[in-house]
Amino acid sequence: MKHIFVINPCAGKEDSTTEITQKVEAHALAHPSFDYEIYITQSPGDATRWTSLWCNEHTGQEARFYACGGDGTLNEVVSGIIGHDNVQVTVYASGSGNDYIKYYATLEDFNDLERLVNGIPHPVDVMKVNNRYSINVCNFGFDAMVCKVGNDVRRKPIIGGKHSYTTGIIKSIFTSRSNYVRMTVDGEPFFDGYMLLCTLGNGRYNGGNYMCAPLSKNDDGLVEVNLFKRMSLFKFASLIDDYSHGTHINRPDVKKLMLYRQANTVEMASPDPFWLVIDGEMLHSNRYRVENLRHAVTFVSPCP
């Protein structure tokens, strides 16, 4: 098997290219049969372009792509390998969020190259969002604006890095708590009105430490749809801690403000274009269609 490391030098608070390259080369010296390649991305979207080109030029060759970055880098690599059954994907965690991997293990586990090389493959679902893909979580409304602000400040001291999402929350509290959307789920009316936020999840976490979809299974063919209706600032403030621990779905006072179900397809529309986030990447449109593709890629977690 070919092991291909796709390094995003812009991921995280600082460029990890040298560190990752040295670890890969050291592993190769210790394991002479280790067949590897390193590619450093040049611009946004380049990981998708390059991985897709590689797969098309090496049809049938078994390979494992290591997305060296955060959730955005993973998203780009996944988008490039869709439809190629002979390849796998995993993460060498060097981004500011790395939310998807929390489904399996810790960031430290996904920085253990030996365990990644000998990792465990899992067929997992991927959401098709219009003509794009998402392996972890799609979110819109308040959450989307939080992500946008978080992306803007992620490399700033104190308010950036692991605090980016919290910074986004503080700013968006005053600007993005009322968002109109009309939704259908599996062809049936689901919601039409003003809401706070909505997440569609195969993974369980977004925003660094927030368990938005605690019941999610990333291989069951179903997306977790979790919508919060518009609410007072006081109620919202009381919800944040539970939302971070995934216990919000059990609160009786929250259930009347929340719509939750599993689905295969979800459609959202609004008169004006609105932001939707796919694995940390921003889209802007007034209409989206999300379809869950069961077992669309093989994801590798670190061995025990």
Residue 8 has pLDDT above 90, yes or no: yes
What does the chain come to in residues?
304
Q: For residue 158, name the pLDDT band (cuts at 50, 70, 90).
A: low
How does pLDDT run across 166-218, given as a tens digit for each residue? Answer: 777 777 776 777 889 999 999 999 999 999 999 999 999 987 778 999 999 99
Q: From 3.40.50.150, 2.160.10.10, 2.60.200.40, 3.40.640.10, which CATH number describes the 137-292 domain? A: 2.60.200.40
- As a whole number, mean pLDDT of residues 154-159 equals 68
pLDDT digits (tens, 9 = 90+) for 103-147: 999 999 999 999 999 999 999 999 999 999 999 999 998 878 777
Q: Residue 150 pLDDT > 90, yes or no?
A: no
More confident residue, 45 or 147: 45
Domain residue limits, the chain:
2-129+297-301, 137-292
pLDDT of 217-236, one tens digit each? 999 999 999 999 998 888 88
What tens digit of pLDDT does each residue of 235-274 get? Answer: 888 988 998 999 998 899 888 899 999 999 999 999 999 9
pTM value surpassing 0.85: yes
Rg for the chain, CA atoms, rounded: 19
The per-residue pLDDT for 242 is: 92
CATH architecture of 2-129+297-301: 3-Layer(aba) Sandwich (3.40)
Residues with Cβ within 8 Å of residue 184, at least 6 apart in sequence:
190, 266, 267
Residue 154 has pLDDT above 70, yes or no: no
Q: State pLDDT tens for residues 48-97.
A: 999 999 999 999 899 999 999 999 999 999 999 999 999 999 999 987 77
Residue 165 binned pLDDT confidence (cut-offs 50, 70, 90)? low
Q: What is the SS3 string spanning the chain?
A: CEEEEEECCCCCCCCCHHHHHHHHHHHHHHCCCCEEEEEECCCCCHHHHHHHHHHHHCCCCCEEEEEEECHHHHHHHHHHHCCCCCEEEEEEECCCCCCHHHHCCCCCHHHCHHHHHCCEEEEEEEEEECCEEECCEEEEEHHHHHHHHHHHHCCCCCCCHHHHHHHHHHHHCCCCCCEEEEEEECCEEEEEEEEEEEEEECCCEECCCEECCCCCCCCCCCEEEEEEECCCHHHHHHHHHHHHHCCHHHCHHHHCCEEEEEECEEEEEEEEEEEEEECCEEEEEEEEEEEEEEEEEEEEECCC
At residue 97, the pLDDT reads: 77
- One-letter amino acid identity for 302? P
